[in-house]
């Protein structure tokens, strides 16, 4: 089921009305990433204000999710002696069938099910698992004598969509829709429910009569759709026991196990039959099908005379099989689009707070940090990869126009919740701050406001020297080729043209000469385009007050002043590296060399406490988000991480260790002082983004710019495997011209369909008149109808293929390619990350894995 955006507060208000002191606590499952962390902070703040007990459980991967289902969620079920309750998944479980993953299915004895547990899914990853979006909860049959012909219907839910009349509490999986389901998944919704209402039919029996049965049957087997399920022989409809068994197998998601992986990968499957489950397809039970040719869209045409001959069972089966393949293809096409990202979940949680009237500066700041963190991890609307807009200097590259709209809303919220006093406006005008000076301090000792700031594309500029901040900026490094001596000289020359001496720019930015800081923006705007650095700083504010592209800064009195991106960088470093400030074994940072060494990495306790360390890092980052002292204490960790990225990326380029394969480039990190650091997927993704931008610039200079597809592997010697990430090159900007062409094609398609429908209805009317006069239905007329339907289906399939190509343009398909290679090679691979473009491959299988991967299509 899915909750529309306009009803985002419906479930929370019901929880608020029904919760009492004896109610079970709300269980919150949180992914280990900054966006989910910020969303968790927003949600827990709402729960605390309403005195609702809650429990937070960090989830690092699918293995943790399965354990949470067994140890925490299943005991909550009323069927297991629990009291039911609410489970909130933040950044967790959107890609898999949670009912199967958490073990909440009904078993063969009719026991189990959801048991009064409501699961809310808030996830930005796409594609959705449609079983979560359109499916309804598994409920044991209330009346054993009730016929299967009557489909169970949940009150307040219409074809998977929750309405205002829905009342939670019986148990179910509910997806929070950010607008994508309503706007983009109309076709998938129709296909899902058409399949759910279809009767089961044996494909072999569909062509059992006639002289061409063997040939047609063989052709159907070749063209059988692959909806993600393993092929299996269907049982005869006349055997209810066999059919029940087939139904159970059909509802059970497929699991693939490789090596020592404890994580099943749920592949897309057809929805469970909720309609005519045990109806045999004979003419008596299929009169509606004969009139419309489709059980999903019965027309209101007048019925045939009683003397007319009904279509044969063979033709009805053929029509049903063809229709089922068509709907299967729609669902499969959706899953094959590739992975992408939608609206950040921290933004969605802030929308919930705004709907409840609870917004304040703290919640707004968490939402801003969560939204900004997506750019750091390359999460675009085309998957994990480089954004053309970002590489060109734009500020909304992570999600194109949609990302800019979200930022515009956040800027409006900043102005609304942080009005500027008249005296501050006058003071800023005198000091030139309104013209674009980067704020580095608060206005007063009690200033906790959020401000808009013309943030340059530098890294941690307030907490580093200007030189180091520019040197470690991924955008600036790629544009200036900073990994080479010539690149360093270009940086020095840029600073010289700006009139900034090396002695000035190598001291702390806060201690630089005030005149240099005030004039820095104008100098960058003047000289940056000479070096191809367009978009290095955002444009000046317009007269109407518009500040498109400006960043966000918050001050904590005289303690600190940080930008939202700075906070995102620090939180990411805590989750990926840890710190020597943690209580458990974690990384130790050498402040002199910047080297990060995992403390106690040689001891047996470190190997056994990997999961505990990840949990400890989560709580460290969770506390740092609410404590400015803890947050600033981890700034050296973030600086050291980015020193390691620059050091390792430069080494790979200088030693020419980045090689071309057929479909992508490949690099392996297996030596050097920072090799252990890049065994974490988040750190490896940041390194891959840095290398991807560098390669893109080098290829552009040579005049042979290609896609930015890159596979980067990091050696984990302790576990004997490589962590592998696939970086797509599609980017996150949607071409407006392409969108216009797509809209025009959609209108033309609808026009053609309407014309064909009218022509088909006219022919059928004439045919009925002829049949009424003759009193029979000729086989030739049946064949003619089927030919027309097949021609219509062919035209629609061509249109759908064109639309699929547009929808999946440039998307990262490394996740799909990884799974195909696993099936083909049988390599020892573990898939446990929520990022499906991240896997772990055994050392001995890496070569064969990459060879097979090079033959796959990795970007749409």
Please say if the pLDDT value at position 636 is more than 60. Answer: yes
Please say if the pLDDT value at position 370 is more than 80. Answer: yes
Please say if the pLDDT value at position 117 is more than 90. Answer: yes
The sign of the dihedral angle between the CA atoms of 803, 804, 806, 807 is positive
Q: Torsion-angle region of residue 773: left (phi > 0), alpha (psi -120 to 50) or beta?
A: alpha
Out of 111-120, 289-298, 505-514, 646-655, the most confident range is 646-655
73: confidence class by pLDDT, cuts 50, 70, 90: very high
Out of 339-348, 385-394, 605-614, 822-831, the most confident range is 339-348
pLDDT tens digit sequence for 748-781: 777 777 887 788 888 878 877 777 777 654 545 5
472: confidence class by pLDDT, cuts 50, 70, 90: very high
DSSP H or E segment with residue 802: helix 779-807
Are the beta carbons of 638 and 594 closer than 8 angstroms?
no
Phi, psi of 334 (to 5 degrees): -65, -45
Distance CA 270, CA 25 (A): 34
Distance CA 102, CA 119 (A): 10
Cβ neighbors of 811 (< 8 A, separation 6 or more) are: 337, 338, 339, 340, 382, 383, 728, 730, 859, 860
- For the CA atoms of 334, 339, 342, 345, the dihedral, rounded to the nearest 10 degrees, stands at 120
251: confidence class by pLDDT, cuts 50, 70, 90: very low
641: confidence class by pLDDT, cuts 50, 70, 90: very high
Please say if the pLDDT value at position 139 is more than 80. Answer: no
Cβ neighbors of 77 (< 8 A, separation 6 or more) are: 84, 104, 112, 113, 114, 115, 116, 117, 171
Distance CA 509, CA 840 (A): 41
Return the structure tokens found at 229.
Answer: 């399920």
Buried-state track 86-123, b at ≥16 Cβ within 10 A, e below 16: bbbbbbbbbbbbbbbbbebbbeeeeebbbbbbbbbbbb
539: confidence class by pLDDT, cuts 50, 70, 90: confident
633: confidence class by pLDDT, cuts 50, 70, 90: very high
Query: What's the mean pLDDT in 15-20?
Result: 92
Of 62-66, 166-170, 327-331, 418-422, the range with the lowest mean pLDDT is: 418-422
Are the beta carbons of 23 and 53 closer than 8 angstroms?
yes
Query: What's the mean pLDDT in 144-149?
Result: 40
As a whole-number percent, the residues of the chain with pLDDT over 90 amount to: 37
The sign of the dihedral angle between the CA atoms of 11, 14, 16, 20 is negative
- For the CA atoms of 807, 811, 817, 820, the dihedral, rounded to the nearest 10 degrees, stands at -20
From edge to edge, which strands make up the β-sheet containing 450-453? 450-453, 551-555, 561-563
Of 706-710, 724-728, 802-806, the range with the lowest mean pLDDT is: 802-806
Of 201-210, 318-327, 802-811, the range with the lowest mean pLDDT is: 201-210
DSSP category for residue 579: -
pLDDT tens digit sequence for 379-414: 887 778 776 554 444 544 455 677 888 988 999 999
The sign of the dihedral angle between the CA atoms of 127, 178, 372, 558 is negative
Buried-state track 411-434, b at ≥16 Cβ within 10 A, e below 16: bebbeeebeeeeeeeeebeeeebe
Please say if the pLDDT value at position 649 is more than 90. Answer: yes
825: confidence class by pLDDT, cuts 50, 70, 90: confident
264: confidence class by pLDDT, cuts 50, 70, 90: very low
Please say if the pLDDT value at position 624 is more than 90. Answer: yes
Peptide bond preceding 154 in cis form (omega within 30 of 0): no
Query: For position 198, what pLDDT does the model report?
Result: 84
Query: For position 801, what pLDDT does the model report?
Result: 53
Out of 338-342, 591-595, 749-753, 795-799, the most confident range is 338-342
pLDDT tens digit sequence for 554-603: 999 999 999 999 999 999 999 998 865 443 334 444 433 344 444 434 44
DSSP H or E segment with residue 588: strand 587-589
Of 98-107, 171-180, 351-360, 436-445, the range with the lowest mean pLDDT is: 436-445
- In order of their start, the domains of the chain are 2-184 (3.40.50.2300), 205-210+231-335 (no CATH), 580-650 (no CATH), 657-731+812-853 (3.10.310), 736-794 (no CATH)
Please say if the pLDDT value at position 128 is more than 60. Answer: yes
Out of 48-52, 228-232, 605-609, 704-708, the most confident range is 48-52
Query: For position 804, what pLDDT does the model report?
Result: 56
């Amino acid at each position: 089921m899915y909750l529309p955006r306009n009803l985002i507060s419906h479930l929370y208000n019901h929880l608020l009305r029904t919760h009492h002191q004896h109610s079970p606590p709300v269980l919150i499952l949180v992914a280990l990433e900054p966006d989910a962390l910020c969303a968790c902070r927003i949600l827990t703040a709402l729960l605390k204000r309403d005195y609702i007990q809650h429990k937070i459980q960090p989830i690092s991967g699918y293995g943790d999710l399965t354990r949470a289902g067994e140890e925490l969620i299943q005991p909550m079920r009323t069927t297991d002696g629990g009291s039911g309750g609410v489970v909130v998944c933040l950044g967790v479980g959107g890609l898999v069938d949670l009912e199967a993953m958490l073990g909440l299915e009904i078993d063969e004895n009719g026991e189990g099910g959801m048991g009064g547990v409501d699961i809310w899914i808030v996830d930005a990853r796409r594609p959705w698992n449609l079983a979560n979006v359109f499916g309804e909860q598994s409920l044991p049959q209330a009346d054993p004598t009730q016929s299967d012909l009557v489909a169970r219907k949940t009150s307040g839910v219409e074809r998977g969509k929750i309405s205002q009349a829905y009342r939670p509490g019986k148990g179910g999986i509910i997806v929070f829709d950010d607008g994508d389901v309503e706007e983009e998944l109309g076709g998938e919704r129709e296909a899902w429910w058409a399949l759910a209402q279809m009767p089961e039919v044996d494909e072999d029996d569909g062509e059992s009569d006639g002289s061409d049965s063997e040939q047609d049957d063989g052709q159907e087997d070749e063209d059988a759709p692959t909806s993600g399920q393993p092929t299996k022989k269907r049982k005869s409809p006349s055997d209810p026991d066999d059919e029940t068994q087939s139904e159970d197998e059909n509802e059970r998601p497929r699991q693939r196990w490789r090596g020592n992986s404890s994580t099943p990968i749920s592949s897309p499957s057809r929805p469970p039959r909720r309609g005519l489950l045990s109806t045999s397809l004979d003419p008596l039970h299929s009169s509606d099908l004969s009139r419309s040719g489709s059980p999903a869209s019965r027309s209101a045409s007048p019925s045939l005379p009683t003397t007319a001959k009904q279509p044969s069972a063979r033709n009805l089966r053929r029509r049903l099989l063809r229709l089922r393949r068509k709907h299967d293809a729609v669902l499969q096409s959706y899953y094959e689009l590739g992975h992408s990202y939608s609206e950040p979940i921290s933004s969605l949680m802030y929308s919930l707070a705004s709907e409840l009237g609870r917004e304040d500066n703290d919640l707004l700041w968490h939402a801003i940090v969560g939204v900004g963190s997506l750019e750091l991890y390359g999460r675009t609307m085309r998957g994990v990869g480089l954004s053309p807009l970002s590489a060109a200097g734009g500020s909304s590259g992570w999600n194109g126009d949609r990302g800019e709209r979200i930022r515009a809303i956040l800027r409006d919220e900043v102005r609304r919740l942080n009005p500027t006093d008249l005296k501050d406006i006058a003071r800023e005008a005198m000091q030139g701050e309104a013209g674009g000076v980067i704020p580095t301090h608060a206005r007063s000792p009690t200033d906790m406001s959020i401000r808009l700031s013309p943030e340059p594309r530098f890294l941690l500029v307030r907490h580093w020297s200007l030189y180091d901040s520019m040197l470690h900026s991924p955008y600036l490094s790629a544009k200036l080729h900073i990994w080479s001596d010539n690149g360093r000289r270009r940086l020095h020359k840029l600073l010289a043209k700006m009139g900034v001496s090396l002695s000035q720019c190598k001291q702390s930015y806060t201690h630089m000469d005030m005149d240099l800081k005030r004039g820095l923006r104008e100098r960058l705007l003047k000289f940056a385009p000479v070096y191809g650095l367009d978009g290095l700083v955002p444009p000046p504010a317009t007269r109407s007050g518009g500040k498109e592209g400006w960043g966000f800064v918050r001050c904590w009195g005289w303690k600190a002043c940080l930008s939202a991106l700075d906070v995102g960088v620090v939180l990411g470093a805590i989750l990926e590296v840890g710190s020597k400030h943690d209580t458990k074994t974690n990384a130790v940072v050498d402040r002199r060399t910047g080297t990060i060494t995992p403390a106690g990495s040689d001891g047996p306790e470190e190997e056994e406490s990997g999961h505990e360390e990840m949990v400890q890092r989560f709580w460290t980052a969770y506390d740092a988000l609410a404590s400015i002292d803890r947050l600033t204490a981890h700034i050296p960790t973030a600086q050291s991480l980015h020193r390691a990225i620059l050091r390792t990326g430069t080494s790979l380029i200088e030693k020419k260790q980045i090689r071309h394969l057929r479909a992508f480039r490949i690099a392996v990190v297996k030596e050097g002082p920072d090799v252990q650091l890049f065994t974490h997927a988040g750190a490896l993704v940041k390194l891959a983004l840095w290398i991807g931008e560098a390669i893109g610039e080098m290829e552009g200079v040579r005049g042979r710019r290609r896609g930015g597809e890159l596979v980067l592997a990091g050696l984990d010697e302790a576990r004997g495997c490589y962590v592998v990430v696939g970086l797509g090159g599609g980017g996150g900007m949607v071409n407006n011209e392409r969108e216009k062409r797509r809209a025009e094609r959609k209108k033309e398609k609808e026009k053609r369909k309407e014309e064909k429908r009218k022509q088909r209805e006219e022919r059928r009317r004439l045919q009925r008149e002829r049949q009424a006069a003759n009193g029979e239905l000729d086989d030739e007329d049946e064949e003619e109808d089927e030919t027309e339907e097949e021609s219509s289906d062919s035209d629609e399939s061509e249109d759908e293929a064109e639309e699929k190509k547009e929808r999946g343009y440039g998307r990262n398909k490394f996740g799909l390619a990884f799974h195909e290679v696993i099936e083909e090679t049988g390599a020892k691979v573990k898939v446990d990350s929520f990022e499906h473009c991240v896997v772990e491959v055994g050392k001995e299988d890496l070569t064969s894995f990459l060879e097979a991967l090079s033959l796959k299509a990795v970007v749409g």
